[in-house]
């Protein structure tokens, strides 16, 4: 079974060819970061136009590297949501055209399922049930997976996502987009105990998250210092903010593992690339004898390989999309 996976939900144009759900034959990611950096974030209209310019080339390169043509494919899997509508439409339209022309099935993939499935790329032996912590640019979820594509969301963010908080705080600190990697880098030189930022744990028993209070607290600290003419240590701010996000993510996850005693935690989404988060989770899970997996950084952020893999499992269930498949910007888990 050969799946071509296509991802265009935000600002990465990506395509991958995956054989039998395990063997990644090729993977191309064309990032628009350089284009959006000067605006401090992703500009949707520009993102959509950039996808149009690059999609054909990215797919051609993925097929070329795999040494394959459309005739070798079993199906085309594409992200149809959530994401930016103009960006999603480029991938969905391209995938439809290719699948129709090659007379093979079209498969619609939920981008968030894709993020979790990124774990199976490097850990094909991963077993259910497992708890997934998805922390990305737009989402923060705790999800119990009982089997392939059989899951229940037990926690979600009530306001800002973890990655969104990283990006907004980074912008306030004068770092470029995307914020996560820059905060991590700055935090390395800082004192995480310098500022006591709030840890919003919400009411006990809930696995929901809230990061907007933390974000506001960092912004208020910056603003009041500015009004007094004080200059705060940016590295200390970054380290203290990061420590607050990590502590909330870790504590909520541990609490969920008490209620749902599974043996494995899988981390996913762009924030999963954060080394402090990985280290903190590793330490706590080692104590508890729970195995811990996370994708390599390249598979944490948006990529076509994870879409091909999630698409593979839909394909195996004969779960095909119709030619009417449309972009669903607000698609949820």
Q: Which is nearer to ligand ATP, 39 or 100 (CB)?
A: 39
In the numeric block, which tokens belong to residue 43?
């500009």
Cα(157)–Cα(53) distance, rounded to whole angstroms? Answer: 34
Q: Check whether 135 is labelled as a binding-site residue.
A: yes
Q: Check whether 64 is labelled as a binding-site residue.
A: no
Which residue, among 305, 309, 275, 301, has the nearest Cα to 32 in the 3D structure? 301
Residue 57, Cβ neighbours under 10 Å: how many? 13
Which residue, among 124, 166, 169, 167, has the nearest Cα to 148 in the 3D structure? 124
Segment interacting with Mg ion, rule: CB under 5 A, options 222-230, 260-268, 296-304, 313-321: 296-304
Minimal distance in Å, beta carbon 268 to ligand ATP?
8
Binding to ligand ATP in span 172-191, by CB under 6 A: 178-181, 184
Minimal distance in Å, beta carbon 27 to ligand ATP?
15
Q: Which is nearer to ligand ATP, 50 or 302 (CB)?
A: 302
Q: Check whether 269 is labelled as a binding-site residue.
A: no
3-state helix, strand, coil in the chain (%, to 5): 45, 20, 35
Phi and psi (nearest 5°) for 224? -70, -30
Q: Please check whether residue 173 is in contact with residue 186, taking contact to mean a CB–CB distance below 8 angstroms.
A: yes
Binding to ligand ATP in span 263-292, by CB under 6 A: 269-271, 273-274
Cα(301)–Cα(323) distance, rounded to whole angstroms? Answer: 28
Q: Check whether 111 is labelled as a binding-site residue.
A: yes
HSE of 255, CA atoms in CB hemisphere, 13 A: 18
Q: Which is nearer to ligand ATP, 26 or 274 (CB)?
A: 274
Q: Check whether 136 is labelled as a binding-site residue.
A: yes
DSSP code string of 154-213: EE-BSSS-HHHHHHHHHHHTT--SSHHHHHHHHHTTS-TTSS-------STT---B--HH
Q: Does 10 bind Mg ion (CB under 5 A)?
A: yes
**Residue position matching structure tokens 């203290």:** 240
Among 120, 145, 151, 166, binds ligand ATP (CB under 6 A): 166
Among 5, 8, 9, 11, binds Mg ion (CB under 5 A): 11
Q: Does 10 bind ligand ATP (CB under 6 A)?
A: yes
Q: Check whether 223 is labelled as a binding-site residue.
A: no
What residues form the annotated binding site for Fe cation?
A: 111, 115, 302
Query: Which residues form the interface with Mg ion (CB under 5 A)?
Result: 10-11, 302
What residues form the annotated binding site?
A: 111, 115, 134-138, 167, 180, 274, 302
Query: Which residues form the interface with ligand ATP (CB under 6 A)?
Result: 10, 82-83, 111, 115, 136-139, 163, 166-167, 178-181, 184, 269-271, 273-274, 301-302
What residues form the annotated binding site for substrate?
A: 134-138, 167, 180, 274
């Amino acid at each position: 079974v050969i799946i071509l996976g296509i991802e265009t939900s935000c600002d990465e144009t990506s395509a991958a060819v995956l054989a039998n759900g395990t063997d990644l034959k090729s993977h191309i990611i064309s990032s628009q970061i350089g284009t959006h950096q000067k605006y401090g974030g992703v500009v949707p209209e520009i993102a959509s136009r950039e996808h149009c310019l690059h999609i054909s080339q990215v797919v051609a390169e993925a097929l070329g590297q795999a040494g394959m043509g459309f005739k070798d494919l079993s199906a085309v899997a594409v992200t149809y949501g959530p994401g930016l509508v103009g960006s999603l439409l480029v991938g969905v339209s391209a995938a439809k055209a290719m699948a129709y022309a090659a007379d093979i099935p079209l498969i619609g993939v939920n981008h968030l399922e894709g993020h979790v499935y990124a774990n199976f790329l490097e850990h094909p032996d991963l077993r259910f049930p497992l708890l997934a912590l998805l922390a990305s640019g737009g989402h923060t979820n705790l999800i119990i997976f009982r089997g392939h594509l059989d899951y229940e969301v037990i926690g979600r963010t009530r306001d800002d996502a973890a990655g969104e908080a990283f990006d907004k705080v980074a912008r306030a600190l004068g770092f470029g987009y995307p914020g996560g990697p820059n905060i991590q880098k700055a935090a390395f030189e800082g004192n995480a105990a310098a500022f006591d930022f709030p840890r919003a744990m919400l009411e006990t028993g809930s696995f929901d998250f809230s990061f907007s209070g933390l974000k506001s607290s960092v912004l208020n600290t910056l603003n009041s210092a500015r009004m007094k003419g004080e200059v705060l240590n940016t590295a200390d701010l970054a380290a203290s903010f990061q420590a607050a996000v990590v502590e909330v993510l870790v504590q909520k996850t541990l609490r969920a593992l008490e209620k749902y005693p599974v043996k494995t935690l899988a981390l996913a989404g762009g924030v999963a690339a954060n080394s402090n988060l990985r280290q903190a989770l590793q330490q706590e899970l080692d104590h508890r004898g729970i195995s811990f997996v996370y994708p390599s950084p390249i598979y944490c952020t948006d990529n076509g390989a994870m879409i091909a893999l999630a698409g593979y499992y839909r394909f195996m269930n004969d779960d095909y999309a119709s030619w009417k498949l449309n972009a669903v910007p607000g698609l949820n888990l």
